[in-house]
Amino acid sequence: MNRAPALAIAEQCRAALVPYCDRIEIAGSIRRRKPQVKDIELVAIPRRIPTGLFGDELVTDPRFCAVVNQWPAIKGRPEGKYTQRQLPDGILLDLFRANVDNWGLIFAIRTGSAAFSHHVLATGWVRAGYRSVDGRLRQPDGSIIPICEEHDLFEILGIPWVDPEAREV
């Protein structure tokens, strides 16, 4: 699909979800400003609301799930780390869940390109002695390194910032 109509669809999806998210952004080839896109990628931190007898448990806001569930599921659930949905316009939505401490890592990886994420970012963290486990960057002792923003990831890896449009390998 051409970028302009894909961007319009992505913005509609984002607008439908934004009231139920602490943060949500368009990633992937749309963010990289590619002229042709094959899918829409969003990275979200859905709001969590208290539940349980004493309000001591947190669950994904059911309104977030209701919006996501209006689109037919290909795989995954709205409460999970990833879900893929078929949008009415014939394009797929890949929705990735993040949290405050791993937003920068997930957003950078999902902005891509796949080759950049693998050959630059992943190679960079392996070279630095880190590993990525369950969407978090970990030190050799297993402790989590918070990556709140993309700039944090580039800085930790000692890689100069690369604008999304230039993230090709």
Q: Could you tell me the two tokens for 77?
A: 């659930």
The reply to whether 3-97 and 103-166 are identical in fold is no
Provide mean pLDDT across the span 21-36. Answer: 98
11 vs 14: CA distance, rounded Å: 5
User: Is the pLDDT higher at 52 or at 169?
Assistant: 169
pLDDT at site 53: 72
pLDDT tens digits for range 87-131: 999 999 999 999 999 999 999 999 999 999 999 999 999 999 999
83 vs 55: CA distance, rounded Å: 27
Q: Which fold has domain 3-97?
A: Beta Polymerase; domain 2 (3.30.460)
Chain CA centroid to CA 104, Å = 9
pLDDT at site 107: 98
pLDDT at site 55: 73
pLDDT tens digits for range 34-83: 999 999 999 999 999 988 777 778 899 999 999 999 999 999 999 999 99
Q: 137-142 contacts: CB < 8 A, separation 24 or more?
A: 137/102, 137/105
Q: What is the pTM of this model?
A: 0.94
pLDDT at site 80: 94
CATH architecture type of domain 103-166: 2-Layer Sandwich (3.30)
Domain spans, the chain: 3-97, 103-166
